[in-house]
Structure 1
Amino acid sequence: MAENVRKSRIRSRLRYPHTPHHLLNLHRHCDIRSYFLPLLPSPPPGAQPPSATGPPLKVYMYDLPRRFNVGMLNRKSTEQAPVTARTWPTWPRNSGLKRQHSVEYWMMGSLLFDGDGGDGREAVRVSDPELADAFFVPFFSSLSFNTHGHHMTDPATEIDHQLQIDVLKILGESKYWQRSGGRDHVIPLTHPNAFRFLRPQINASIQIVVDFGRYPHVMSNLSKDVVSPYVHVVDSFTDDNHSNPYESRTTLLFFQGRTFRKDEGIVRVKLAKNLAGYDDVHYERSVATGDNIKASSQRMRSSKFCLHPAGDTPSSCRLFDAIVSHCVPVIVSDEIELPFEDEIDYTKFSLFFSFKEALEPGYMVDQLRKFPKDRWIEMWRQLNAISHHFEFHYPPEKEDAVNMLWRQVKHKLPAVKLAVHRNRRLKIPDWWRRRNCSQQHMVADRKFSIQTRIAYSRQHSD
């Protein structure tokens, strides 16, 4: 654990070399967004989310050239005019794991669609920005990372870097971005390395993320951002109507994937050792090829429980593959955040184990073997009932993942509007946050000063 903390601090220092350590760590003690951003308050205790009923969110979408979005799906095309509903391309079937980060594509498509969505549409596009409740930035930052070089030394990464520079230039010249400081702008960032070069410059925006594992809370946090599901890569189990689903699923616990991961993902290596030797447990090391994805889909459908240990980040696509396969998720992650959790109770169809519990030899398997059949069947029924919330469609469908995401954005807007209005009349940095956190800032500063003096004295005593 100490080694993981040390590595986390090193990564933070590499990402933000000009920010003192005590500020990078201060978010653990209090909300320090007031250091960088005006107030973005959390909802009051007991507050209920807005109803799903009511008028759809009015969203203005920037008309960006195709190189910022669908142009990356067909790099041979020279067309640069903004895409329309008539020219909207289908997502390529051979995209492999790129699909899991394609939330940006489905959200953009939902705004382009000009057909009849009935009462199920949570967001509609408006051509007049003065009428907009929110603004959508159709930059495929996750696809850009996946397309333009994964390693910082790859020459192709400069394309990704330049796209980020260009989109920020466009936003910086927009009076609507300037008016709110970007707070009412929605930007999908579902790959942990999306917008990797200039992400601090979009701190204030409503970010669509899959978790908060890679960035300090001053950049991304639950009070202003929206947690999205990954787009599942296995086929949905649409005809799961077996008369005896419990007995038809002969594997107790299933996992297939990489076992050597960073940070919290080290738990996968330890689980591989703990789960070896059980006849009813399938724990397989593999990479995500087309054939392996198909095999994984079939095995999920024949398993009662599907293991979801943390990977490089607290969440992964595997959880949502399990949901659409109606395999009860077994979640092992101490820091996971889940999508739509103000509307969906995951305990009704998932089991949760802490790292400590999961790594105790024999404990997790024993608990799963003793799990009552009637409770498992009820969870299986719940999975059948809620899995449509994790499906991405074009055209969008009522209560599908895209509409659920837009509803989450709607939930964030009251706090955003308060922050925007409040910031317009404040003459000094946010006094309320500063007063409430001042003592903790002083403690952190004092600790930092003491550590500096100790390090200095040690250096000169050697």
Structure 2
Amino acid sequence: MAISMLKKKPKASKKFETKQHQLSDTIYFKILYRIPAAIFLLILIFLWSSSTTIISGKFLHVCVSSRKLNNLYCLSAGTQPNFEIPIQALNKDGSISPNVTASIKEVVGIVGEDPNLMVANRVHNNGSDGEVAFAVTVVEKLLQVQRSWISNKNHAASCEGKGIFVYDLPSKFNKDLVGQCGDMIPWTNLCKYFDNEAMGEPIVELGNGWYHTHQYALELIFHTRALKHPCRVYDENEAKLFYVPYYGGLDILRWHFKNVSNDVKDSLGLELVKWLENKKSWLKHSGKDHVFVLGKISWDFRRKNDALWGTRLLELDQLQNSMKLLIERQPWHINDIGIPHPTYFHPHSDDDITDWQLKIIRSNRKSLMSFAGAARPDAPENIRSILINQCNSDETKCRFLNCSSGGCDKPASVINLFMDSEFCLQPPGDSPTRKSVFDSLVSGCIPVLFDPFTAYYQYPWHLPEDHSKYSVFIEQEEVREMKVNVVEKLMKVSVREREDMRRFIVYELLPGLVYGDSNSKLQKFQDAFSMTINNLLQRE
């Protein structure tokens, strides 16, 4: 049974009003109306732009396909630890049945609201809209908890009681994986991207601080920065935070194009767990003060059953307490935190940032909008082809850079396109998030989003709750049903609104979206790395 993702129009002033939560696919409205709230919650969170859902017995199976890799990997609600959801989830009065109340409290109870009241109020007062609102509200409340950990302090200025211990892992968990860069991907040699402390080759034409950085370089970049953090300690007894520099994303990547068993794919992650379990520092708080940085999306570490892609690292019971920093999080995991994709910009100094800010705020944006990407011909439900057609129909207002023909291989071409554009279209691809969102923001181009999971439910520490300050949202289903012309809609955004959003992006957001180089000397600004570390240290 294919069901489209549910969406919420991002109006911060009324974000909890149920009228803002509409069903994306009217064909399945009556079906979804009868789905209990607890099941509905899982459907909302698990289903991306393309998926298959099967209910068998007492278990909900959600299988998500990767279009580039032609694979299917599934999540089963009935097999999640402490999250078994029977089909009969609601009592007649709208309350949650006793056998699922404890499970829902795992998600909702942490914010202090009675889950029975939440369901009853939304289902009884609002009908099916209430069920949608309840499901979205759970996701938003988890984000509120994560936002409560945001620190207003730069802990590097005073490291007392804020020590960071970086494990010196055996090289097989990180350095040896980098050494396999030559044959990880059959069509690309990644070694050149991992040079220069994983920033890649300099991009001279873009100026100081610009490098050809690969999208999978986050693990290496973060590790290098952590080793040089002023609050780093070498005595475990002085540490508040323990960083585990395991390159799990590279571990996944090295096996995907080789004919090996799932046991082989999981082997290094299991070895890591055994290694940690021999450490007193791990056992002391059951890993709660430990953090992992993983440079691929959460799905890749949550392989289910006999699926071919990824590992089951994040499904291991031993890792449930730890913090996981990912470029794309699972919204129902409180310990999954989304942090920015690495961009091409790695400033060394405050001047690098201010010089770039001035350059892009003064940029002459000749095009109303642009799209850098590729169509998904094997996924007809994807809106990319529609957007490309709308873009190409008026080339005076929209520019299309075709990534399928290698047009996006040169970072300077992408950044220059975004610097020339008022708006940058950011439809979902193989997963909801896109590195391109951060490339557009760093270029001062206002991102146009079509799926709230692309950014709004992903990055609570680096993007504000009020989405209208930095983006435009257009409902994906309206595009799919040809109810909206994106060019015409964006033309209606006033020049004043565009300028306000761009100033907010450039002066408020940009410094916190980029990762400075390993020797960066930032005084006025906190970059993405510093913000992340400070928030981790703030969390009790």
Do they superpose with TM above 0.5? yes
Q: What is the distance in 2 between the residues matched to 1:338 and 1:389? A: 15
Aligned CA distance change for structure 1 residues 355 and 34 (closer, same or farther; 3 Å): closer
Aligned CA distance change for structure 1 residues 24 and 316 (closer, same or farther; 3 Å): farther
Partner residue of 1:378? 500
Aligned CA distance change for structure 1 residues 242 and 36 (closer, same or farther; 3 Å): closer
Q: Deviations over 1:235-290 (max 9, x none)?
A: 999546469847x2111111111322898982323433444412212234424676
SS at match of 2:417: helix
Q: What is the distance in 2 between the residues matched to 1:391 and 1:239? A: 12
CA RMSD of aligned residues (A): 4.2
More off after superposition, 166-175 vs 105-114: 105-114
- For residue 238 of structure 2, the aligned residue among 125, 131, 135 is 131
Counterparts of 1:24-103 in structure 2, within 5 Å, are 49-53=150-154, 55-56=158-159, 57-75=162-180, 90-91=197-198, 93=200, 99-103=214-218
Q: Is residue 228 of structure 2 the alignment partner of residue 113 of structure 1?
A: yes
Partner residue of 2:320? 203
Q: What is the distance in 1 between the residues matched to 2:408 and 2:391? A: 26
Aligned CA distance change for structure 1 residues 334 and 270 (closer, same or farther; 3 Å): farther
Q: Is residue 263 of structure 2 the alignment partner of residue 150 of structure 1?
A: no
Q: What is the distance in 2 between the residues matched to 1:93 and 1:72? A: 17
Native 8 Å contact 1:259 1:265 kept in 2: no
The letter for the 1-side match of 2:495 is K
CA displacement at 1:381 relative to structure 2: 2.1
The letter for the 2-side match of 1:371 is V
The letter for the 2-side match of 1:11 is C
Q: Deviations over 1:188-245 (max 9, x none)?
A: 12312247233211222101022335xx83xxx2x33321010014799954646984
Q: What is the distance in 1 between the residues matched to 2:292 and 2:325? A: 6
Partner residue of 1:328? 446
Native 8 Å contact 1:251 1:304 kept in 2: yes
CA displacement at 1:348 relative to structure 2: 1.9
Q: What is the distance in 2 between the residues matched to 1:343 and 1:93? A: 26
Counterparts of 1:206-285 in structure 2, within 5 Å, are 206-212=323-329, 217=332, 221=333, 223-233=334-344, 239=356, 241=358, 245=362, 248-260=364-376, 266-279=382-395, 280-285=397-402
Aligned CA distance change for structure 1 residues 400 and 49 (closer, same or farther; 3 Å): closer
Q: What is the distance in 2 between the residues matched to 1:177 and 1:262? A: 45
TM-score, normalisation: structure 2 = 0.61
Partner residue of 1:351? 472
Partner residue of 1:395? 519
Q: Is residue 193 of structure 2 the alignment partner of residue 104 of structure 1?
A: no
Q: What is the distance in 1 between the residues matched to 2:241 and 2:384? A: 40
- For residue 170 of structure 1, the aligned residue among 275, 281, 305 is 275
CA displacement at 1:403 relative to structure 2: 0.6
Native 8 Å contact 1:254 1:306 kept in 2: yes
SS at match of 1:133: strand
CA displacement at 1:318 relative to structure 2: 0.6
Native 8 Å contact 1:389 1:404 kept in 2: yes
The runs of 5 or more residues in structure 1 that have no matched partner are: 78-87, 118-123, 415-462
More off after superposition, 169-178 vs 47-56: 47-56
Q: What is the distance in 1 between the residues matched to 2:356 and 2:75? A: 49
Aligned CA distance change for structure 1 residues 90 and 17 (closer, same or farther; 3 Å): same
Partner residue of 1:369? 491
Aligned CA distance change for structure 1 residues 200 and 3 (closer, same or farther; 3 Å): same
- For residue 11 of structure 1, the aligned residue among 60, 63, 84 is 63
Partner residue of 1:430? none
The letter for the 2-side match of 1:51 is N
Native 8 Å contact 2:372 2:414 kept in 1: yes
The runs of 5 or more residues in structure 2 that have no matched partner are: 5-46, 54-60, 65-71, 90-95, 112-141, 183-194, 203-210, 302-309, 348-352
Aligned CA distance change for structure 1 residues 208 and 378 (closer, same or farther; 3 Å): same
Q: Which has the higher contact order (CA 8 A, sep 6+)?
A: 1
Partner residue of 1:417? none
Q: What is the distance in 2 between the residues matched to 1:270 and 1:76? A: 37
Native 8 Å contact 2:201 2:212 kept in 1: no
Q: Is residue 420 of structure 2 the alignment partner of residue 313 of structure 1?
A: no
Partner residue of 2:30? none
Q: What is the distance in 2 between the residues matched to 1:333 and 1:255? A: 16
Q: What is the distance in 2 between the residues matched to 1:212 and 1:198? A: 14
Q: Is residue 384 of structure 2 the alignment partner of residue 339 of structure 1?
A: no
CA displacement at 1:408 relative to structure 2: 2.7
CA displacement at 1:24 relative to structure 2: 6.0
Partner residue of 2:290? 185
Native 8 Å contact 1:265 1:313 kept in 2: no
Native 8 Å contact 1:310 1:316 kept in 2: yes
Q: Deviations over 1:89-140 (max 9, x none)?
A: 62162699972232222222222116xx6xxxxxx22222222212111001
Q: What is the distance in 1 between the residues matched to 2:529 and 2:427? A: 26
The letter for the 2-side match of 1:187 is F
Q: Deviations over 1:369-388 (max 9, x none)?
A: 12111221222222221312
Q: What is the distance in 2 between the residues matched to 1:342 and 1:225? A: 14
Question: How many residues end up aligned between the 2 structures?
Answer: 386
More off after superposition, 91-100 vs 24-33: 24-33
